[in-house]
Amino acid sequence: MTKLRTIIIDDEPLAINVLKNYVSQIKELDLIETFSNAVAAATYVQNNKIDIIFLDINMPILDGLDFLKNLQIKPMVVMTTAHEEYALTSYELQAIDYLVKPIPFPRFLQAVQRIIELKQNSSNLSTTENPSIFIKIDKKKLQKIFLDDILVIESLKDYIRIKTTSEKYIIHRTLSSFTDELPSDKFSRIHRSYTVSIAKVTAIEGNSLEIGGIRYTIGRSYLNDVKQTLLGES
């Protein structure tokens, strides 16, 4: 497995040093850069390939939550903060995990192992004529799903519901990270809460589309991209 390109964003030098030490203990991580403010980091992230961001929340000028809201390209993000009250908001913004300072190394390792597992699962995408992916549906079981069977993937905050032609699965993933693993010529994000199979769309009307007799709203910010993908409109 290729090392995961990692950056740290925190305005506290001591916190940065702790995370740098933790990252250095894990062979799968490659620390590329550290930032003491989110403004400088925002430009860097948009122009460089990053796999993981360890992101503080309370920072001057631009806090971690606003930084995350405004990211156009979103790597996997782990929040690192002294405040527990932002956990729900962070998960709603598709953060992978939420670590409360002082962060014990075992808890840090748990977050990283989860990311590594997600990355490894993504490599299970088949390149055969009938591509598939494995999803973890409980602690021990990996379920194979053929991509051609997927209808809709729905965000449930820090979980997603995968609706196929025959089953529904709820797994602990974010919609953004799961969508990133799917081929962009077969699946389209249409809303902050939905990714759909392009081939399964049976009708489009106004700001909604239909799959399997059910209508799904197309988010305003996604509308132009969806019409271009499905109808070839520019």
Model pLDDT for residues 135-153, shown as the tens digit of each residue: 888 767 788 899 999 999 9
Put simply, whether the predicted model's pTM sits higher than 0.75 gets the answer no
> What pLDDT is stored for residue 124 in this prediction?
55
| Contact (CB, 8 A) for 15 and 62 | no
Rg (CA), the chain: 19
Contact of 22 with 69, CB cutoff 8 Å = no
Mean pLDDT of the chain: 88
Whether residues 104 and 143 fall in one domain: no
Instruction: Locate 232 and state its tokens.
Output: 């070839």
pLDDT of residue 10: 97
| Rounded distance between C-alpha atoms, residue 61 and residue 64, angstroms | 10
Residue ranges for the chain with pLDDT beneath 70: 1, 121-129, 139, 233-234
Instruction: Identify whether residues 62 and 143 lie together within a single domain.
Output: no
Question: What domain range is 116 assigned to?
Answer: 4-122
176: CATH: 2.40.50.1020
Residue 207 sits in the same domain as residue 118? no
pLDDT of 122 reads: 60
- 145/202 same-domain check: yes
Q: pLDDT per residue over 67-114, tens digit each?
A: 988 877 778 899 999 988 988 888 878 888 999 999 999 999 999 998
CATH number at residue 94: 3.40.50.2300
- Total residue length of the chain: 234
Note whether 24 and 113 are same-domain residues. yes
DSSP assignment letter at 94: T
| Whole-angstrom distance, CA of residue 234 vs CA of residue 226 | 10
**Number of separate domains in the chain:** 2
pLDDT given for residue 30 in this prediction: 95
pLDDT in the model for residue 142: 83
In this structure, the answer to whether residues 113 and 24 fall within a common structural domain is yes
pLDDT at 123: 56
Task: Examine the domain organization and report whether 81 and 24 are in the same domain.
Answer: yes
Question: Is the domain of 174 the same as that of 103?
Answer: no
- For residues 186 and 210, membership in a common domain is answered with yes
Are 143 and 219 in a shared domain? yes
Q: In which order are the strands placed within the sheet that holds 187-191? A: 168-171, 159-164, 150-156, 194-197, 187-191
Residue 218 is classified by DSSP as P
**Quick check: is 127 in a domain?**
no
Residues 85 and 37 in one domain: yes
**140 and 210 inside one domain:** yes
